[in-house]
Structure 1
Amino acid sequence: MGILNLTPDSFSDGGKFNNGQSALKHAEKLLKEGAEIIDIGPQSTRPNADFLSSKEEIERIGSMISRIKKEFPEALISLDTFYAETVQFGFNEGIDMINDISGGQFDDKMFDTAAKTGLPYILMHVNPTYETMHDKIKFEDITLEVNRYFSKKTGELLEKGVKDIILDPGFGFGKTVEDQMKMISETEYLGFGKFPMLIGISRKSFIYKPLGKSPLEINEETQKLHRQVLEQGAIILRVHDVAETAVTLREFLRKK
């Protein structure tokens, strides 16, 4: 899954792809390098980012989804939003999956809308409100906590009629460095093996800050961690650096 941020303020590539032509070119680059899914993000969720309404998200997306679909019909498009209204707009434009960082907690219409569209839904573990999503919590047992959350939320989604669920443990959202490293080492125990697992650790601060590096200097370390989670059953990697991750994936598949 290659990341396409349509934002002026994302933490590592803000403003790079937030006009139509550069976004289209970047989507082409991601696909050429080996991405199968393009994750379109109209709103930055880094700490202290500008908060957008659904209307502003939709304005920012504009015709980008349908343009990518027309230009690259083989691409799967995921829409990164926590608004039901943005999901409905994306569905009408042709998206293939919903990537909701909020687990339906920031918009109570999200689960119903996901069910209505019939699209696959990516369920991420996060603190319960937009205001607290980056508050660092030291959990007694992070794996147990994430699994409790997944158990409750997948139950709600299945009850609503959402059948295709992908789990994301929520790296970079309100967790200590230690807990995130524990999640890496215990990926195989997350989600009870019932649902596909997506891992999004690309350019995350729990990797680069302890090393005293910038988000753009940790590719080698990130690929090592990618190998670890792949060995434990992760099937989708959400990344900025597609070419490097494609090499990791090919090496992993060769050894299987």
Structure 2
Amino acid sequence: MNCNGRLVELTKPKIMGILNLTPDSFSDGGKFNNEESALKHAEKLLKDGAEIIDIGPQSTRPDAGFLSSNDEIERTGKIISRIKKEFPEALISLDTFYSETVKFGFNEGIDMINDISGGQFDDTMFKIAGETKLPYILMHVNPSYETMHHKAKFEDITLEINRYFSKKTNELLEKGVKDIILDPGFGFGKTVEDQMKMISETQYLGFGKFPLLIGISRKSFIYKPLGKSPLGINEETQKLHMKVLEQGAKILRVHDVTEAALTIRQFCEKTEKRL
């Protein structure tokens, strides 16, 4: 990946640590929504083993408050540039579905775009992504903000996701986006059964053409069937992380970096033994 002029290898899986600037995210809302607490959390994520910090100014959980791009920009403030100054080795991803927020983030120094909407909530997103030349994370999701959490009925979830990826990656390439990362969209409008199928068929998602990002951290399809809380499923989550790593996943988007780093280390040791 060419991250703002810096070439990043994905031969070894990487960890994307989540930094929510929101007051209403489902498991850590309000913890890091000022500059000092956000900076301290970024430092912890990096120390624990994250190489990418995913900054999210807007919660996309069900029933979250809706923010405009101006709201996102105001909430983000100088956090991006401060992290880049304090931790120049960190790669910064900006979690937004607004092209105006992307422009702001690009001027502040972000290294990649994480758009949960696949360009569907802002018609100019793909154009702006192409202009920035930043890597773009393409997520599978229902076609509107209002319907993104509606449980859709898919005849074959893997086939549906691959059709979507095929169409959207072609559009992105036409707009000049060269580095595309695929996110199958766990937690967005899919049944528990579909999401478990996505785990078991990770190797078939995206046809192996682009790197795959998996974001299952603290997701309800894991904790609700077990009758647990989002914070009580680390062991189960790491087992699923291992499954997707064994099928070629390149980036894990997580809240709990230490545990994910251990899983990646175990995965790499197993891989080396096979060789």
The answer to whether residue 88 in structure 2 is matched with residue 83 in structure 1 is: no
Question: How do 1:1-256 and structure 2 match up within 5 A?
Answer: 1-256=16-271
How many angstroms apart in 2 are the aligned matches of 1:182 and 1:195?
20
Q: CA RMSD in A?
A: 0.3
Contact 1:102 1:125 in 2 (8 A): yes
Give TM-score, length-normalised by structure 2: 0.93
1:138 deviates by 2.1
C-alpha contact (below 8 Å) 1:138/1:179 kept by paired residues: no
* Structure-2 separation of matches of 1:63 and 1:157: 29
CA distance in 1, matches of 2:151, 2:82: 39
Fraction of identical pairs, as percent: 86
For 2:34 and 2:153, locate their aligned partners in 1 and report how far apart those are by CA, in whole Å: 39
Q: Could you tell me how far apart the structure 2 residues matched to 1:208 and 1:138 are? A: 22
Listed one character per residue, the Cα deviations across residues 138-158 of structure 1 (whole Å, up to 9, x for unaligned) are: 210000000000000001000
Aligned residues: 256
Q: Deviations over 1:187-243 (max 9, x none)?
A: 000000000000000000000000000000000000000000000000000000000
Q: What amino acid sits opposite 1:249 in the alignment?
A: I
Point out 4+ residue stretches in structure 1 off by more than 4 angstroms. Answer: none
Q: TM-score, normalised by structure 1?
A: 1.00
Q: Which runs of 5+ in 2 are unaligned?
A: 1-15
Query: Distance between the aligned counterparts of 1:42 and 1:149, measured in 2?
Result: 26
Deviations 1:121-171 (A, max 9, x none): 000000000000000012100000000000000010001111100000000
Greater relative contact order structure (CA < 8 Å, 6+ sep) = 2
Alpha-carbon separation, structure 1, partners of 2:141 and 2:182: 12
One-letter code aligned to 2:138: L
Q: Distance in 1 between the 2:31 and 2:154 partners?
A: 36
Q: Which residue of 1 aligns with 2:4?
A: none
Give, in whole Å, the separation in 2 of the partners of 1:90 and 1:188: 32
Aligned partner letter, 1:36: E
Structure 1 unaligned runs (5+)?
none
Distance (Å, rounded) in 1 between the aligned partners of 2:86 and 2:175: 34
Q: Within 1, Cα distance between the matches of 2:162 and 2:214?
A: 15
SS in structure 2 of the partner of residue 28 of structure 1: helix
